[in-house]
Structures are given as C-alpha cells and as structure tokens.
C-alpha cells in the first residue's frame, strides 16, 4: 500500500528551479532514507510535501489524495508531520506548550504528552522551561515530540542528527522503533549516509534536485552510493 | 503634599496611557504591523460613546464599556480580514503603514462629516467630581476606577495569552508563522482575532480618555503618538513595559504641567526623547 506517491515533481524558488522531475514512493509502515549533499534539494522536497513551497509542478498523492495544491495548514490535518531542519521550536512557549502545539490537530493514536515524556524522560523534568534553556539534543527531542503529538501517518525528519553527540543520536534513532511499531512511515533526510541507511528500508539519493539512486538499504554498495551522492 | 497628589494622579492616568499602548504593542508583537489608524479608532469609540450616551441618557456611561468593546472587536476582526490580511504577506513593512495611514485619513474625514467639528467630552456625571481621602490625599474616584479598568483589561490580556489555548496559538504564530502553519494554524484567522483584541482595547482606552479630555475628529493623531511612545519606551514586545512606560509618561506629564501649566504634552515627549536616547530598545527591551 503506497502512502505517498510523488510523480515528476518540479519545485521553484522564484525563477530558480530546485527539483527536477522527482519521483518517489513511500509505503505504509516503511522507513525511507533520503540522502544527499548540501543543496541537493532534500529540505526543498520536504517543504513541498508539507505545503510550504508555492511554485511547483507535478503530482503529490498522500493516501490517495492530491495534496500539491493544498495550503500547509490543511495538509497538517491529513497526517503529515515535519521535524524541521534546525528544530524551529517556538521560543516564546515552554517545552510543554511546544508539545501541545503539535497536538493541535491530533489524530487518534498512542502519542500523548505522557507517552512523549516516557520516550524522552528528560523533557518531563524540563517541561516548564523555555526551549532556549535546553541543550541541542534536548531541543531535537522536543521537535520530534512535537511532530509525534499529532500521531502522524508519515513522519518527516530533516537532518535530525546534525550537530548532535553520537549517544544522543542513538537515543533519538531508537525512538523510531516505537514510531514504526505504531504503523507510521518515516522519511529520514540525512547527510550522514551510514546512519540513515542503517535505519531505513529503502534509500533514495538526491543530487542537484534529481534522484540519482534508488534501492533497498541493505542492497546498495558504498561505491554506488558515493557515486550517486557526489555525482562522480 | 500637592506633589504627591500629582504623582498619584500621574500614575492613574499613566495606567490609561499603558492601555492605549498595549493594543498597539499586541499587533506590533504578533504581526509586525503598525496600525496608524489606532488613534482614529480610539476617537471613533469616543464619538460612539457620546452618541450612545446622548440617545440613552438614562444609561450610566460605564454600561457603554462592554458593548463598545464587543463592537470594536468586530471592527478589528473585519479590518484585518478585509484589508490588512491582503498585504500582510508582503515583505515590505511599509505596506501596512501606508494602508492604515490612508485609512486614518479617511476615518478622520468621515468622522468630521458625521459628527461635526465641535470638541466633545464624555460626561461621567457626579462621578467626575467625587474623591476619596486616601492617606490624607484626595484621590479622584473616577481616575481610580479608570486605573482599575486598565489593570483588569491588562491582566485579562496577559491571562489569555499565557494560560489559554488561543494565547498559545497566538504566541506560536508570532514566533514563527510558517511552523505554526505546519501545526494546522491558519495565520489569517489568528491575525483577525489579534486585531480584534487590539481595537477592543483601544476602544476602551479611547472611551475612558474622552472622559478626561475633550476630543475632535483630529485628536487621533495625539492618541496614536501616546500609544506609540508607550510602546517604544516600554520596549517592543513587552506588555509590562508598555504599562510601566505609560505610567512614567503619565507621571512626567502631570508633574510637568504643575511646573509649567502651558507646556501641554511637552514634558511627556521630552521623557520619551531622553528615554529612547538612554535605552534605545526601551525599558524592557534587550540592552542595546
């Protein structure tokens, strides 16, 4: 069952074309890694999915519905959640209030304030603090928790391992087991190819706005990936 | 003794000035929009108050507060939904200023047409003369009530913003509009409500100010100036700062008038000037 179907997606920032004919699938319950260098178009792609890119062509189908023309606030209600690059927490809100914002359009599911705190116990201690008082890893936990609070069908994670200590990244990636157990699909956008492919079922590689490689995570060789990543 | 009384009266009127500013601080903080017609809405509310009091002389002026508040919430909502939301997504900050400037001019002239050029005041009857002795000073009952109303509204606003779901949504949208959209928030709707709140607060301030001093269709500019000074003096985005800024302006204004009865609002403006020189980001803004 295909949850997300993207066909021939072109995306533009003004006159600048960032994505060229992107075609991609995500099945129900699957974890897909999207890897590529800086500027390859990974974040642009995620922004297209959630409705933050205005100028685009092509098809984006989520659970069968065409969502390419919908505004971000409608798409939020359909079951797509984004953990944005740079976390982008609300600084005027406490940790708990940030999590509650994620639950604004919650679908029925197992993720509540309590279960998020069970997943990341340190957040329960720091629930009344401003996000600025937290470490980078803890802020990532809040960002992920906020996305989970909506009980998404598809969780989109943009560079969540960037700038974090390996132990913290471990903890965060381990939390995905819970997400998968709930039947949700995950798209992991990472520059760290090893970690992303280890956690994923399938991998897409992006270079300069185009898909250069696609395959099962265990099947792709390092050489192949390298070529697709750097374009050599 | 007379000085202490003056200072106390300054605090009382300062609370009202703070209320004038808080409405403006709200929309500047949430939408980065300066509503140049903020003063005109205050004057409109005063004209409405006078008209309503005229048609219903049996009604105590205090009873006007709630209906006017509700009407102006609606006006604010409509203003944002119909006019300002059209230009708010543009990166140019002047778009909103120009639009509201034009609106202010139109409103001034419509009010002149509709209500005439005579200065008006809102009378509070015997309440205006009543005073209570507190600690040996004669404090006016009306100014106390006005301060009371200002504080109640101010606290209510703070509570709405910090303790309610709506307040959470407003603060989140002010922080990052796009990420708020990712959570399902419709920013246009949030802005409508915030503008409604802003004009509701302005309407009460305008009504209360009209009891203290007379007004004409042109008084809006003066009112806007006070609101603007209060917001900047207090620090952009700080509500307590706006309240404190208002009180400071009020005290300096009245003390200055005692020294120099012909000065008009000079001393308040001087305080603003000095304040901005010393603390360009305002009392509660970040240290420059």
Question: What pLDDT is attached to residue B126?
Answer: 61
* pLDDT tens digits, one per residue of A35-65: 988 888 999 999 999 999 988 999 999 999 9
B181 CB-near residues (< 8 Å, 6+ apart): A51, A52, A71, A72, A73, A76, B187
Judged by CB atoms closer than 8 Å, whether chains meet at A51 and B181 is answered as yes
Partner A contacted by B186 (CB < 8 A): yes
Q: Which of B172, B175, B185 sits opposite A73 (nearest CB)?
A: B185
Neighbour-count burial for A184-214, b at 16+ CB within 10 Å, e otherwise = bbbbbbbbbbebbbebbbbbbbbbebbbbbe
Question: What pLDDT is attached to residue B152?
Answer: 92
CA distance A51 to chain B (A): 8
Task: Say if CB B63 and CB B125 are below 8 A apart.
Answer: no
Judged by CB atoms closer than 8 Å, whether chains meet at A90 and B169 is answered as no
Neighbour-count burial for B199-208, b at 16+ CB within 10 Å, e otherwise = bbbbbbbbbb
Q: Which position has the token pair 């009504």?
A: B207
ipTM of the complex as predicted: 0.90
Judged by CB atoms closer than 8 Å, whether chains meet at A51 and B172 is answered as no
Top pLDDT among A214 and B143 is at A214
Q: Which of A52, A71, A104 sits opposite B183 (nearest CB)?
A: A104
pLDDT at B193 over 70: yes
Report chain A's mean pLDDT, rounded to a whole number: 90
Q: Helical H runs in chain B?
A: 2-31, 38-55, 65-79, 85-87, 94-115, 141-163, 165-175, 177-182, 187-212, 220-234, 239-259, 266-278
Partner B contacted by A77 (CB < 8 A): yes
- Poorest-pLDDT segment among A95-99, B86-90, B178-182, B199-203: B86-90
CA distance A223 to chain B (A): 37
* pLDDT tens digits, one per residue of B33-62: 889 999 999 999 999 988 888 888 777 767
Judged by CB atoms closer than 8 Å, whether chains meet at B178 and A90 is answered as no
Judged by CB atoms closer than 8 Å, whether chains meet at A97 and B184 is answered as no
A150 contacts in chain B (CB < 8 Å)? 183
Judged by CB atoms closer than 8 Å, whether chains meet at A92 and B184 is answered as no
pLDDT at B130 over 80: no
Q: Which of A51, A76, A93 sits opposite B172 (nearest CB)?
A: A93
Report chain B's mean pLDDT, rounded to a whole number: 87
DSSP at B80: I
- Poorest-pLDDT segment among A75-79, A90-94, A102-106, B211-215: B211-215
Partner A contacted by B91 (CB < 8 A): no
Question: What pLDDT is attached to residue A176?
Answer: 85
pTM for the complete prediction? 0.89
Burial class, A79, CB count within 10 angstroms (exposed 0-12 / middle 13-18 / buried 19+): buried
For residue A36, give its domain range.
Answer: 2-230
A97 contacts in chain B (CB < 8 Å)? 168, 171-172
- Poorest-pLDDT segment among A51-55, A227-231, B181-185, B235-239: B235-239
Partner A contacted by B174 (CB < 8 A): yes
pLDDT at A218 over 80: yes
Judged by CB atoms closer than 8 Å, whether chains meet at A101 and B168 is answered as yes
Question: What pLDDT is attached to residue B75?
Answer: 95
What percentage of chain A reaches a pLDDT higher than 90? 58
Judged by CB atoms closer than 8 Å, whether chains meet at B168 and A91 is answered as no
Q: Which residues lie across from A26 on neighbouring strands?
A: A4
What percentage of chain B reaches a pLDDT higher than 70? 95
Q: Which of B168, B175, B182 sits opposite A72 (nearest CB)?
A: B182
Question: What pLDDT is attached to residue A130?
Answer: 93
Nearest CA in chain A to B29: A92
* pLDDT tens digits, one per residue of A2-18: 999 999 999 999 889 99
* pLDDT tens digits, one per residue of B243-287: 888 998 999 988 888 888 887 788 888 888 998 888 888 777 655
d(CA B233, CA B46): 26
Partner B contacted by A104 (CB < 8 A): yes
Q: What is the CATH number of the domain that holds A43?
A: 3.40.50.300
Partner B contacted by A228 (CB < 8 A): no
* pLDDT tens digits, one per residue of B137-187: 777 788 888 888 888 999 999 999 999 999 999 999 999 999 999 999 999
B25 CB-near residues (< 8 Å, 6+ apart): B230, B231, B234, B236, B237, B238, B239, B242
CA distance A82 to chain B (A): 7
Partner A contacted by B164 (CB < 8 A): no
- Structural domains in chain B? 2-278 (1.10.3470)
Q: What is the number of domains present in chain A?
A: 1
Q: Which of B175, B184, B189, B176 lies closest to A70, judged by CA? A: B184
Judged by CB atoms closer than 8 Å, whether chains meet at B183 and A101 is answered as yes
Partner B contacted by A86 (CB < 8 A): no
Q: Which of B179, B202, B180, B191 lies closest to B49, judged by CA? A: B202
The average pLDDT across A82-102 equals 93
Question: What pLDDT is attached to residue A105?
Answer: 86
Nearest CA in chain B to A104: B183
The average pLDDT across A194-220 equals 89
Q: Which of A76, A88, A92 sits opposite B184 (nearest CB)?
A: A76
pLDDT band at B128 (very low <50, low <70, confident <90, very high): low
Task: Say if CB A15 and CB A75 are below 8 A apart.
Answer: no
pLDDT band at B288 (very low <50, low <70, confident <90, very high): very low
pLDDT band at B196 (very low <50, low <70, confident <90, very high): very high
Rg (CA), chain B: 19
pLDDT at A222 over 70: yes
């Amino acid at each position: 069952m295909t949850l997300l179907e993207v066909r021939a997606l072109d995306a533009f920032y003004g006159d600048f074309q960032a994505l060229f004919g992107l075609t991609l699938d995500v099945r129900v319950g699957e974890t897909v890694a999207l890897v590529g260098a800086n500027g390859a178009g990974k974040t642009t792609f995620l922004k297209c999915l959630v409705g933050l890119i205005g100028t685009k062509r092509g098809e984006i189908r989520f659970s069968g519905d065409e969502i390419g023309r919908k505004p971000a606030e409608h798409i939020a209600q359909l079951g797509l959640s984004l953990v944005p690059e740079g976390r982008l927490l609300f600084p005027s809100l406490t940790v708990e209030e940030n999590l509650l914002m994620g639950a604004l359009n919650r679908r029925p599911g197992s993720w509540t304030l309590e279960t998020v705190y069970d997943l990341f116990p340190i957040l329960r201690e720091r629930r009344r603090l401003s996000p600025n008082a937290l470490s980078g890893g803890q802020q990532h936990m809040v960002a992920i928790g906020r996305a989970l609070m909506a009980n998404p069908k598809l969780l989109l994670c943009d560079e969540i391992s960037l700038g974090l200590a390996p132990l913290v990244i471990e903890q965060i990636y381990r939390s995905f087991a819970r997400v998968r157990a709930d039947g949700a699909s995950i798209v992991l956008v990472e520059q760290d190819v090893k970690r992303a492919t280890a956690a994923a079922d399938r991998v897409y590689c992006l270079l300069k706005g185009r898909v250069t490689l696609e395959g099962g995570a265990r099947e792709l060789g390092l050489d192949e990936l390298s070529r697709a990543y750097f374009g050599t | 003794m007379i000085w202490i009384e003056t200072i106390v009266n300054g605090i009382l009127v300062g609370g009202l000035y703070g209320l004038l500013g808080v409405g403006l601080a709200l929309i500047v903080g949430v939408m980065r929009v300066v509503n140049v017609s903020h003063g005109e809405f205050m004057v409109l509310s005063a004209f409405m108050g006078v008209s309503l009091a005229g048609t219903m002389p049996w009604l105590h002026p205090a009873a006007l507060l709630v209906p006017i508040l509700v009407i102006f919430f609606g006006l604010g909502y409509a203003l944002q939904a119909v006019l300002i939301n059209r230009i708010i997504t543009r990166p140019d900050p002047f778009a909103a200023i120009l639009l509201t400037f034009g609106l202010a001019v139109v409103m001034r002239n419509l009010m002149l047409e509709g209500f005439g050029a005579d200065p008006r005041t809102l009378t509070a009857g015997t309440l205006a003369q009543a005073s209570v002795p507190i600690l040996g000073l004669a404090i006016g009952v009306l100014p106390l009530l006005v301060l009371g109303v200002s504080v109640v509204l101010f606290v209510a606003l703070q509570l709405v913003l910090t303790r309610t779901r709506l307040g959470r949504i407003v603060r989140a949208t002010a922080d990052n509009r796009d990420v708020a959209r990712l959570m399902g928030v419709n920013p246009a709707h949030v802005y409508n409500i915030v503008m409604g709140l802003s004009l509701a607060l302005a309407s009460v301030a305008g009504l209360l100010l009209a009891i203290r001093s007379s007004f004409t269709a042109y008084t809006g500019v003066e009112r806007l100036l006070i609101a603007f000074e209060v917001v900047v003096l207090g620090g952009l985005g700080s509500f307590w700062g706006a309240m404190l800024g208002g009180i400071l302006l009020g005290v300096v204004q009245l003390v200055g008038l005692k020294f120099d009865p012909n000065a008009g609002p000079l001393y308040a403006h001087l305080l603003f000037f000095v304040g901005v020189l010393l603390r360009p980001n305002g009392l509660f803004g970040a240290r420059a």
